[in-house]
Amino acid sequence: METRAGERRRTLLRAAMVLGLALLLAGFMVRDVRARAFVETDYIARALWAAGGLLAAGSLALDWRRVLALLRGRRTAEGVNFVFVAVLGVVLAALLCYITTRRYARLDWTRAGRFGLHSQTESILAALEQDVHVVTLYRSDDSYDMAVVGYAGDMLEEMKARSPHISTEEMDLTLAATQSRINRLLAQLGVSDLAVPAVVFVAGDRHETITFDRIATSSRGSVEMPDVFLGEDAFAGALKRLTAGEGAVVYALTGHGQRQLKVEDRAGGPPQAAGAGAGPARSLSRVASALEHDNYEVRVLDLAAEGRVPEDCDVLVVAGARARLAESELRAISRYLDEQEGSLILMLESPFGVAVDTNVTELLADYGIRAREDAVGVTRMQGLLGQTVTEKTVPVPGERLPDHPAVAGLDGFRLWLEMAVPLEITAEQPAPGLSTRPLLTGVESSWGATGIEPGSQQAIEYNPAADLPPGVIVGAVVEPTAGGGMAQEAPEGPKILVLGSTGAFANTTVDQHRANLYLLSNAVNWMAGRTHLLGIPPRSMDMHIVSVSPSQVLAARYVFIGVLPALFIAAGALVWLVRRR
C-alpha cells in the first residue's frame, strides 16, 4: 500500500510540475496577445503566473529527492545532451536567419516588374549620402490605411534594400503605447502636430510629410478601394528634396486672363480675368503643387510691370492667355528665348470653349509651329450605349508618344486633351541648331475640325477638304540639336513646349487623368536640366487584402511557432512511449 501510494504521489507531483510550467508559459502568451486588444486584463496573466509558480515550486519542494536522483541518472545526462544539441541547432538557425536579414537580394519576378524600382529612383538612392529615417503613421482599424501601408511598405523595403542610408519604422495610432513614440518624433522635428495618416521622411533637422492621398488614389472615385499607387514618385521626390540643394524657379505669366497656377495669388497679384480659369477647380494649382514638391519655387510674373523676364527664371509658363499681350511683352519673351536661351511652356486656350482674343501664338511663327485657332481637336468615339459620338477631346495613347524626356515613362498611359487647338509643323529645322517635331499625336480617329461655330451643338463630320487630317497634332516641342541628333539634355538654345489645351491640366482634369500632370512635371524637369526628377508614373494596385488585427497576428505567431511544433513533439513522444512498451 505504501509503494502504490508513493507512486500515486510522485505522479501527482510530476503532473503539478508540468501544469505549473504550462501555466507560467500561458501567462506570458496571454499577456502578450491581450495587450494589443484589451487594456485592463493584466490580472489574468498575473493569476496564471501565480498559480503556475506555486504549482511548480511546490512540486519541486515536495519531491526534491526525486529531482536530484533524476539529475544524476544516465538518461538525464543523455536528455541534457539532446537538449543542448537542439538548442545549439536553433541558435545556429537563428544566426542564419539574422544574417539573411542583413545580406539578401530582392528579386521582382513579375512580368511587368511591378515591384521593382524605376531607374530614376535607383539613381537617387545610389547618390544618397545622408541618413533618412522613414516613419509610417497609420490606423490598423482602417481598411484604406492598411491597403496603402501594405503597398507603401513593400516600396520602402525595396528602397531600404538599395541604400544603407534608409531606415524605416511603423507606428499604429490605435495603440496607446504609440503616443509616446509620436511625442518623441514631434519633439525631434520641432513641430506640434503631423498630418496623419502619412509617411514622414526625416533627414537631419529637415522632414517632409506625405499624406496617404498623395500615395494612392482610386480611378473609380472610392477612397476605400485605392487601385493606383503614386508612392514611388512621392517617395523619390521627398528623398531628392530633403537631400538636394537649392531649387529652381518657375514663373507663370499673369495679366492676360491666364489660368492661375496658384489660386491664392489672385488676392495680392495682378487681377485675373473672370472665366474658365478663375475658380480653384479650373485653375492649375495641382500643377503648382507638383512642381513645389519637386523643389521648385513658383512665382507670378507681370511683364507689363517688370518689362523683362527675370534672370533667375528657369522655366516660363504661359497658361492659356485669352487677352492680347503688348508688343513689349512679346519682345521680352522673345529676348528671353533667344538671348537667355530660356525655356517656355505655352498652353493654348481654344476659342471654342471661352472667348479668346490673343496674339500669343505669334511667338511660334519663328519656330516652325502654326496654331490653328480656327479649328478644334475632335475624336470619334463609342458612346455608353454603343452609338458613335464625336467629342471635342483628343486622346493621346502611350504608343504614339515619341522617345523624349518630356514624356518619359508615360508609354503605358493615355493623355486626354480637351478643347485642344490643333498644331501644324511648318518647319522641322526653323533655325540652325534648332529642331521642331510633334510630341503629342492623337488617335487615328481624331482630327482638327474647322467651320464649327463656338458653342454650337451641330453634328461634326470629317471634311477632307477643310479639316486637319486624322492623327491630329496637339503638342509640339522645339529644342536644340547637338551633332545633328536630338539632345536629351540640350547644350545650348531655347526650349519650347506647345500644348494645344490648357483645360487638360486643370485640377478637375488631372484628378481623373494623372498622366496629364506627369507630362507637365516631366517637361519642367527636362527644361530645367533636372532629368533625375523626371516623373515616375503611377502603378496599378492589384491587391487582395485580409484585415488582421495585431492581437490576431500575435496569436498566430504562437500557434505556428509554439502550439503546432509542440503538438508534433507530443506526437513523437507518444509514438516513442508506445514503441518502448
Output the pTM of the full model: 0.62
| Cell (9 digits) for 120 | 530614376
Domain ranges of the chain: 2-102, 119-238, 246-540, 546-581
- Measured CA to CA, the distance from residue 523 to residue 506 in angstroms comes to 16
Q: Reduce the secondary structure of 60-80 to three states and give it as a string.
A: HHHCHHHHHHHHHCHHHHHHH
Query: What backbone torsions phi and psi does residue 420 show, to the nearest 5 degrees?
Result: -90, 140
Average pLDDT over residues 285-310: 87
> Does position 269 have pLDDT exceeding 50, yes or no?
no
pLDDT (0 to 100) of residue 567? 82
Percent over 90 (pLDDT), the chain = 27
CATH topology classification for 119-238? Glutaredoxin (3.40.30)
> To the nearest whole number, what is the mean pLDDT of the chain?
80
Task: Identify any residues that bridge with 269 across adjacent strands, giving them in sequence order.
Answer: none
Residue of 477, 471, 472 lying closest to 375 (CA atoms)? 472
- pLDDT-based confidence at residue 490 (cuts at 50, 70, 90): very low
pLDDT (0 to 100) of residue 97? 79
Least confident of 26-30, 163-167, 297-301, 373-377: 26-30
On the 0-12 / 13-18 / 19+ scale of CB atoms within 10 A, 93 is exposed
- pLDDT-based confidence at residue 145 (cuts at 50, 70, 90): confident
Least confident of 118-122, 170-174, 179-183, 462-466: 118-122
pLDDT in tens, 271-291: 343 344 455 777 888 888 888
Average pLDDT over residues 141-162: 86
Domains 119-238 and 246-540 share a fold: no
- pLDDT-based confidence at residue 71 (cuts at 50, 70, 90): low
pLDDT in tens, 398-418: 888 998 988 887 877 889 999
Q: Reduce the secondary structure of 159-202 to three states and give it as a string.
A: HHHHCCCEEEEEEECCCCCHHHHHHHHHHHHCCCCCCCCEEEEE
pLDDT (0 to 100) of residue 96? 84
Contacts (Cβ under 8 Å, ≥6 apart) of 371: 348, 361, 364, 421, 422, 423, 498, 500
Percent over 70 (pLDDT), the chain = 78
CATH topology classification for 246-540? Rossmann fold (3.40.50)
